[in-house]
């Protein structure tokens, strides 16, 4: 694999922030000398010129599916986030906080921070999780799962942490964790309404694009729930 500073060319990347499902919205990222030059929608015929988009005829007009991804404005401007001077690039630790000694909680919000390695940061997280579970039990671990999050191609935004905690605590025999779902989103309408609409579970199975075409060809009216998911 090339070093990051030597990357060159165009790469297809997941750029969705609130797309919870089997994947996320993709974009084409142009890179030169290891830096992002621009971000644009993925053109599906870039790699697969043989693709034939479906068409839909209604009210005397012919509608055709788009041959490029519909990136949100904040995804197209991701370069600004990547190179923002306010971005925290490395793990930091409070200078007077020692996980194995004096923690000085009275200095929270007052003390400065120093840079530490990723190995030290992950070791601290692991040791703190073990300490809390051994002292107070599994429910002392709170997993916060807001409805919105940054999704990538490998996993959805709010699943991998729960899978880890479930399996880890089960192995230790420490019960389960505490879950916080801080969301005003109507998940019941999203989950059950979509199943009745599409005829299958929308998360983790087939994409809905082709089903939408089939349903549109065989119905007179469609009412779709306004949602950031679909």
pLDDT digits (tens, 9 = 90+) for 24-34: 678 899 999 88
Q: What percent of the chain has pLDDT over 90?
A: 34
Instruction: Name 194's Cβ contacts closer than 8 Å, sequence gap at least 6.
Output: 202, 225, 229, 230
Q: Which of 23, 26, 27, 25 is nearest to 159 (CA)?
A: 23
Structure tokens at 38: 């621009």
Tokens of 201: 């579970």
Once rounded to an integer, what is the mean pLDDT over residues 53-74? 82
For residue 45 the two structure tokens come to 């015929």
What ranges in the chain are assigned the alpha helix state H? 73-76, 78-82, 118-136, 160-172, 187-188, 194-198, 209-217
Please report where in the chains the tokens 């090339």 appear, as a residue: 2
- Segment 8-15 shows an average pLDDT of 86
The model's pTM: 0.59
The tens digit of pLDDT for each residue in 165-216 reads 989 999 999 888 998 766 555 556 666 666 666 555 544 444 455 566 777 7
The domains of the chain, with CATH numbers, are 4-82 (2.20.25.340), 88-134 (no CATH), 137-183 (no CATH), 185-230 (no CATH)
- Give the rounded distance of the alpha carbon of 44 from its chain centre: 22
Please indicate whether residue 76 or residue 229 has the higher confidence score (pLDDT): 76
pLDDT at position 2 is 44
Angle at 46 between CA 45 and CA 48, to 5 degrees: 50
Pairing of β 113-115 and β 92-94: antiparallel
pLDDT at 155: 56
Query: Quick check: 106 pLDDT over 50?
Result: yes
In degrees rounded to 5, what are phi and psi of residue 87?
-75, 135
Q: What percent of the chain has pLDDT over 70?
A: 70
Mean residue pLDDT across the chain: 79
The number of beta carbons lying within 10 Å of the beta carbon of residue 168 is: 16
Place of tokens 């370069």: 79
Tell me the HSE value of 184 on the side-chain side, using a 13 A CA sphere. Answer: 0
């Amino acid at each position: 694999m090339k070093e990051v500073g030597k990357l060159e060319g165009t790469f297809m990347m997941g750029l969705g922030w609130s797309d919870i499902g089997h994947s996320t919205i993709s974009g084409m990222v142009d890179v030169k000398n290891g830096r992002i030059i621009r971000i644009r929608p993925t053109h599906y015929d870039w790699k697969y010129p043989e693709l034939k988009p479906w068409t839909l005829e209604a009210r005397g007009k012919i509608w055709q599916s788009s041959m490029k991804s519909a990136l949100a404005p904040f995804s197209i401007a991701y370069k600004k986030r990547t190179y923002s001077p306010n971005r925290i690039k490395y793990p930091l630790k409070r200078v007077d906080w020692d996980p194995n000694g004096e923690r000085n909680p009275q200095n929270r919000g007052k003390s400065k921070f120093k840079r530490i390695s990723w190995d030290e940061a992950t070791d601290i997280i692991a040791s703190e999780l073990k300490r809390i579970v051994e002292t107070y039990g599994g429910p002392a671990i709170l997993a916060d799962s807001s409805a919105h999050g940054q999704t990538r191609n490998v996993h959805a935004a709010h699943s991998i942490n729960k899978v880890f905690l479930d399996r880890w605590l089960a192995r230790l025999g420490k019960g389960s964790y505490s879950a916080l779902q801080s969301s005003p989103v109507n998940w019941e309408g999203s989950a059950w309404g979509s199943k009745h609409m599409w005829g299958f579970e929308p998360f983790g199975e087939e994409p809905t694009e082709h089903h939408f075409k089939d349903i549109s060809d065989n119905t007179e009216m469609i009412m779709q729930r306004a949602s950031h998911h679909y």
